[in-house]
């Protein structure tokens, strides 16, 4: 039963550890998804600054800002994917990574268009059309990426919450199992104590009583449990040896006492006969002397 308790504790601790690990993983995924979303938002801000740029320096600054946020988005996505164990989550983040890469590429194309616009007259509408087309594509990608990231964040939070619920359920189950096993152990100990009292304590008490009878000189009572083939039987057999020895000693003492009494009687009879013979001899001597 102790092994059962230890095994139960080990299994539940392992299951709780797995649930806690899954919860931490989902929280990491959720955090990285939120950070990725912020980086995508930063890329959108960079695109806005790019469209508002009125000099090549501002275009370069906007491109640098977009590049910085693209790199941070890639880093957060890689961290999220390294912590994932569920296929659908990994596919979702791979999809977002493809979107951010596409967004970055289109932002680079937009930067070229904006740069070209700055070097041409305001009446050239072809670049304006390219800019609007790129802007629409960028907006669509950003919206899809944000939506997918929101789905990832929600899924990760739900998984983390479910892992926490599972952990609590496992802990509750472990407590109930340990309580049940503990009660079973107590019942077993109580049963063992009762069995020990009936099978060991009481027989020993009876054997002890028999030893007391022997000590007081009573050899008539039989020693109980002599026929048992266990420690109690061995103890009873040892006491019975003393009883048999006491009986033998008592018989020998009786025989010796009877022998002494017989010898005393014979000696008394011999003494009496000798006295009678002496009296007869004295009487005969007196009568012979008188004659």
Q: Give the pLDDT confidence score for residue 66 in this predicted structure.
A: 94
Same domain? For 120 and 165 the reply is: yes
| 166: containing domain | 2-187
Same domain? For 69 and 155 the reply is: yes
Element (H, E) at 248: helix 231-290
Instruction: In whole angstroms, give the CA distance from residue 98 to residue 144.
Output: 11
Mean pLDDT by 10 residues, the chain (291 residues): 59 65 74 89 93 91 95 89 66 88 94 86 72 92 90 77 76 72 71 68 82 80 82 84 80 75 74 72 65 55
As for how many domains the chain has, the answer is 2
Same domain? For 31 and 175 the reply is: yes
Instruction: In whole angstroms, give the CA distance from residue 155 to residue 33.
Output: 11
Residue 203 belongs to some domain of the structure:
no
Instruction: In whole angstroms, give the CA distance from residue 65 to residue 53.
Output: 13
Instruction: In whole angstroms, give the CA distance from residue 231 to residue 109.
Output: 97
Q: Give the pLDDT confidence score for residue 127 in this predicted structure.
A: 83
Same domain? For 178 and 63 the reply is: yes
Number of other residues whose CB lies within 10 A of the CB of residue 131: 18
In this prediction the pTM is 0.54
Residue 201 belongs to some domain of the structure:
no
pLDDT tens for 114-168 read: 988 887 755 567 788 888 999 999 999 999 999 988 887 787 777 777 877 777 8
Which residue's structure tokens are 């990832």? 152
Instruction: In whole angstroms, give the CA distance from residue 130 to residue 233.
Output: 107
Residue 227 belongs to some domain of the structure:
yes
Instruction: In whole angstroms, give the CA distance from residue 21 to residue 164.
Output: 10
């Amino acid at each position: 039963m102790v092994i059962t308790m230890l095994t139960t504790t080990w299994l539940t601790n392992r299951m709780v550890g797995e649930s806690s690990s899954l919860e931490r993983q989902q929280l990491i995924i959720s955090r990285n998804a939120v950070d990725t979303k912020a980086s995508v938002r930063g890329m959108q801000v960079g695109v806005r600054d790019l469209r508002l740029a009125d000099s090549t320096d501002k275009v370069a600054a906007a491109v640098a800002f977009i590049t910085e946020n693209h790199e941070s988005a890639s880093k957060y996505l890689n961290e999220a994917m390294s912590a994932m164990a569920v296929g659908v989550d990994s596919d979702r983040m791979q999809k977002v990574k493809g979107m951010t890469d596409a967004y970055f590429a289109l932002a680079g194309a937009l930067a070229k268009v904006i740069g070209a616009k700055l070097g041409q007259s305001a009446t050239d509408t072809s670049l304006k059309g390219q800019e609007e087309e790129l802007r629409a594509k960028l907006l669509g990608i950003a919206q899809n990426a944000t939506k997918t990231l929101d789905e990832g964040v929600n899924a990760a939070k739900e998984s983390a919450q479910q892992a926490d619920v599972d952990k609590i359920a496992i802990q509750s189950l472990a407590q109930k199992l340990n309580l049940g096993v503990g009660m079973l152990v107590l019942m077993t100990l109580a049963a063992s104590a009762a069995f020990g009292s009936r099978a060991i304590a009481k027989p020993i008490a009876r054997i002890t009583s028999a030893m007391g009878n022997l000590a007081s000189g009573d050899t008539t009572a039989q020693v109980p449990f002599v026929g048992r083939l266990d420690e109690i039987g061995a103890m009873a057999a040892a006491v019975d040896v003393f009883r048999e020895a006491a009986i033998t000693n008592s018989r020998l003492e009786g025989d010796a006492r009877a022998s002494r009494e017989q010898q005393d009687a014979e000696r008394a009879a011999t003494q009496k006969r000798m006295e009678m013979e002496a009296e007869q001899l004295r009487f005969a001597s007196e009568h012979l002397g008188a004659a």
